[in-house]
Amino acid sequence: MKNIVWLASYPKSGNTWFRMFLANYLANTQTPLPFTDITDASIASSAVDFEEQIGLNPFELTPDEVDLYRPELYYILSEEYAESVQYKKVHDAYTYNNDRVSIFSSEVTRAAVYFVRNPLDVCVSYANHSASNIAKTVEFIQNKIATTAGHRTGQLRQILLSWQEHYFSWSKQKEFPVYIVRYEDMKRAPMEAFGGIIHFLGLEYEEERLYRAIINSDFKLLQQMEKEGGFKEKTQKCERFFWKGTIGNYKNHLSEEQIQNIINANFQAMLELGYIDANGKLTL
């Protein structure tokens, strides 16, 4: 029953972009799929799924109480769709509930793909997404007890931890295989980056199909689709969900002090991922 693949990431790291690509690749159509083909059911933090499957209103429980039920929620969903692989977007860090049970049980998990992006660019993009100021977001991505959503937002509370701890929580767990892909590689070498994920997932690999799915989920196309019809995952305060999508946008928004603070707080992970060298100098 290991039929769930978690599409995991810290927010604003390319997760939704990949989901759009994957939907196009699986559908294997000639024209781009509409946003409506990505539904709430593909989000692990869906409050609707929780209430329908568990039978309790998650907003009448504490977030910690909700987490006690989440392993059961995914077990039920895994059984309900036992004949197919389920791809679920996740922004939670890989954590355990108060019963010391993993939120994302290996009993139902086939694998995870983890999308990671330079935390400097994440910081700027997340500030825009949450309509927060840069200074607060610099502090937020360094917060080791950071959480998001919950509180009647329509999604379950998600424990993020800091950017670095979020990455290590998924990359260092040993319960199931995790494939790590950098956002920057998805941008610079999409055929290799997206193709590597297709191979990892064990899906049929067709080069022409891969190329077409990449074109049909191009970031500029997604921006245009959002402009014309909106995108339901955009927060009310945010002007656009698909904002810049560029590499190095942090240079236009972060001060030297803010950049150094983020590097210092995330040194180990940034070094491991190649965002800085051994001397702490940025490579991107």
pLDDT at 229: 55
Instruction: Give the pTM.
Output: 0.91
Please report, in tens digits, the pLDDT of each residue of the chain (284 residues total): 799 999 999 999 999 889 989 989 999 988 887 767 665 558 999 999 999 999 999 999 999 999 999 999 999 999 998 889 999 999 999 999 999 999 999 999 999 999 999 999 999 988 876 667 899 999 999 999 999 998 778 899 999 999 999 999 999 999 999 999 999 999 999 999 999 999 999 999 999 999 999 988 887 777 776 665 555 554 455 455 555 668 899 999 999 999 999 999 999 999 999 999 999 999 98
The CA distance from 18 to 13, in Å, is 10
For 3, how many CA atoms within 13 A lie in the half-sphere containing its CB?
13
Residue from 263, 254, 284, 105 nearest 185 by CA: 284
The CA distance from 239 to 278, in Å, is 38
Cβ contact 193:181 at 8 Å? yes
pLDDT at 49: 93
- Ordered by where they begin, the domains of the chain are 4-120+144-238 (3.40.50.300)
User: Chain-centre distance of CA 36, in angstroms?
Assistant: 19
Q: Is 49 helix (H, G, I), strand (E, B) or coil?
A: helix
